[in-house]
Amino acid sequence: MTDLYAVYGGTFDPIHYGHLRPVEALAGIVGLKQVIIMPNNVPPHRPQPEASSAQRRDMVQLAIRNRPLFRLDERELQRTTPSWTVETLEALRDELGPQRPLAFIIGQDSLLGLPGWHRYESLMNLCHLLVCRRPGYAPEMPNADHQSWLNRHLTHSVDELHQLPAGRIFMADTPLWDISATEIRQHLAARRDCETFIPAPVLDYINQAGLYR
Ligand code: ATP
C-alpha cells in the first residue's frame, strides 16, 4: 500500500476530542500512518478565531505531544491572506507530484457545506475526501445536484484510496462526538467543566492563558 498523505484542516479554536478521536478511528479504518493537522489562519467563511494563531498552534502541539499519529503543519497559520483549501491542496499536490495519494479529512458538517467552498469541484482533482461522522448532521447532501456530485465520487473501497491519487469520497464509520469548539468556548466562558472534551495539557494552557473567558 502507498503512504496516503492525509491532511486535517480547521480552526482548532480550541482543538478537542471531537477532532482527535474520530480521526484516530479513521486512521485505523483507512490505514493512515500519519495525519497532518493544518490549522488555518483567516478562515474565509467564518468569524475570526478567539485565540491567536500562536495560541491555536500551541494548543495543537500540546494535544498531539503523546499522539504520534499526528503532526502539525504551520503553513496556513503563517499566511496573512485567506486560506482557501483548494489553494493549499494545489501547493501540496505540487510538492507530492501527480501520483501520490492525497486526502483531506473533514467532518460530516463540512461535507454538507462543501459546495459553498471556493472552487469546490476542483478539490476532487487534487485529493480524496475522508469524512468522519458528526452527530446532528444529515447523511445526505441538501440538494439533488450536490448529492449526485457526491454519488459520482463515493467509494467504499479503502484500496482505491491508496491506489488512486485523488477523486474519491470515503464516509468512515467513526465514533460520534457530540461537541464543537463553539460549545466548548461557551462552557469555558461559563466556567463549566470541560475535562471530557479537551486533553488535560490543552485545558491547563487555556486556564493559564485565561482564554475564552
Ligand atoms: P467551531 O465550533 O468553532 O465551528 P469545530 O468544533 O466545528 O469549530 P473546526 O476547527 O471548525 O471545529 O473543525 C475542523 C474539522 O473538524 C472540520 O472538518 C469539522 O467538521 C471537524 N469536526 C469538528 N468537531 C467535530 C466532531 N465533534 N465530530 C466530527 N468532526 C468534527
Task: Please report whether residue 131 resides in a domain.
Answer: yes
pLDDT at position 2: 66
Amino acid at 176: L
Question: Using CA atoms, how far apart are residues 150 and 62, in angstroms rounded to an integer?
Answer: 35
Nearest CA to ligand 1 atom 14: 10
Domain count, the chain: 1
Question: Using CA atoms, how far apart are residues 124 and 42, in angstroms rounded to an integer?
Answer: 23
Q: Which distant-in-sequence residues (6+ apart) come within 8 Å of 168 by Cβ?
A: 128, 129, 153, 154, 155, 157, 160, 161
pLDDT at position 43: 57
Q: How far is CA 160 from CA 4, 11, 165, in A?
A: 11, 29, 9
Atom in ligand 1 nearest the alpha carbon of residue 109:
20
Question: Using CA atoms, how far apart are residues 174 and 62, in angstroms rounded to an integer?
Answer: 23
Nearest CA to ligand 1 atom 26: 18
Kindly report the pTM of this predicted structure. Answer: 0.96
Instruction: Report pLDDT digits (tens) over 42-86.
Output: 655 667 889 999 999 999 999 999 999 999 999 999 887 877 899
In a mutational test of the pocket of ligand 1, which residue from 88, 110, 133 has the highest number of ligand atoms less than 8 Å from its CB?
Answer: 110
Instruction: Report pLDDT digits (tens) over 98-155.
Output: 999 999 999 999 999 999 999 999 999 999 999 999 999 988 999 999 999 999 999 9
Task: Please report whether residue 92 resides in a domain.
Answer: yes
The Cβ of residue 178 has, within 10 Å, a number of other Cβ atoms equal to 10
Task: Please report whether residue 207 resides in a domain.
Answer: no
Q: Tell how far the Cα of 18 is from the centroid of ligand 1, in angstroms.
A: 7
Who lines ligand 1 at CB under 6 A?
Answer: 10-13, 18-19, 22, 106-107, 109-110, 132, 134, 177, 179-182
Q: Tell how far the Cα of 15 is from the centroid of ligand 1, in angstroms.
A: 9
**Domain of 166, in residue numbers:** 5-177
Instruction: Say which CATH number the domain at 125 has.
Output: 3.40.50.620
Closest CA to 96 of 158, 41, 165, 32: 165
Task: Please report whether residue 208 resides in a domain.
Answer: no
CA angle, 209 then 212 then 213, to 5°: 90
